[in-house]
């Protein structure tokens, strides 16, 4: 299954608890689009949030994020890793 890294902006001041809440909202509905959210990272100072997932396509990732209330600004497929 392809892997994706998505980026959210504008989440300045996000706390560890807020990040976990957003991640759990994705996890609660991820099966609807056959997505597996693996990890999320945040920088409260810049408001950047990054999520790593496996999914059939980028659209599936975005659908889950939209339904969970935090649409991604960009979703990138990451086919090459080291």
Mean pLDDT of 26-51: 98
* Predicted confidence (pLDDT) per residue in 22-34, tens digit: 999 999 999 999 9
Q: Where does residue 35 rank: exposed (0-12), middle (13-18), buried (19+ CB within 10 A)?
A: buried
What element of type H or E holds 65?
helix 58-68
4: confidence class by pLDDT, cuts 50, 70, 90: very high
Domains and CATH numbers, the chain: 3-77 (3.30.70.3090)
Does the pTM surpass 0.85? The reply is yes
């Amino acid at each position: 299954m392809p892997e994706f890294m998505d980026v959210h902006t504008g989440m300045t001041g996000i706390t560890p608890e807020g990040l976990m809440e957003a991640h759990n909202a994705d996890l609660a509905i991820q099966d609807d689009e056959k997505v597996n959210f693996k990890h999320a990272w945040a920088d409260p100072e810049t408001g950047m949030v990054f999520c790593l997932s496996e999914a059939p396509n980028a659209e599936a990732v975005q659908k889950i994020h939209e339904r969970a209330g935090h649409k991604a600004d960009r979703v990138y497929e990451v086919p090459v890793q080291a």
